[in-house]
Amino acid sequence: MPGGGSPTPDPCDTTTVTPASPFHVRRTRGWALVRVVGESMLPTLRPGDVLLVRGGARPAPGDLVVAELPGGRGAGVKRAVRHEPEGWWLERDSRTTGTDSWLFGAVADDAVRGVVRLRLWPRPGRARRDRHGT
């Protein structure tokens, strides 16, 4: 980080989240910092990216979200592609790494814990909608 400091966000893997994360322990409506650990969101997100997430925000198609993934996978960062009767269809951005709704199906609305608003470090920028969003 600039100035020699280091970020101290809760770790967030694009496949799992450690128990210290507020998205794993409880549903939150505040802001949280998460760190990308896995590679399922390449090239959009890279391991080590620090994200600002708005807990409880309503996603729109194309948004990056933190969601509890089915089958004991924990929480992860995925792209909300579309809303279906069963919930949100989530996809990874990587064509070769990770899991998504093609494997586990749509996730319930209440499994989506928050929407990624910004990448804070190391390449600051807005979390833009992409692929199927506007």
Q: What is the torsion angle, in degrees rounded to the nearest 10, for the CA atoms of residue 31, residue 119, residue 103 and residue 80?
A: 70
Question: What pLDDT sits at residue 130?
Answer: 63
Q: Would you place residue 25 in the very low, low, confident or very high pLDDT band (cuts 50, 70, 90)? A: very low
- pTM exceeding the 0.85 threshold for the entire prediction: no
Q: List the chain domain ranges.
A: 2-125
Sign (positive/negative) of CA torsion 100, 13, 126, 46?
A: negative
User: Between 33 and 19, whose confidence is greater?
Assistant: 33
- Among residues 4, 127, 123, the alpha carbon closest in space to that of 60 is found at 127
pLDDT tens digits along 110-130? 999 999 999 998 989 887 666
State the pLDDT confidence band at 28, using cuts at 50, 70 and 90: low
Per-residue pLDDT at 8:
38
Domain 2-125 falls in which CATH fold? Umud Fragment, subunit A (2.10.109)
Gap between the Cα atoms of 96 and 88, Å rounded: 21
What pLDDT shows up at residue 108? 97
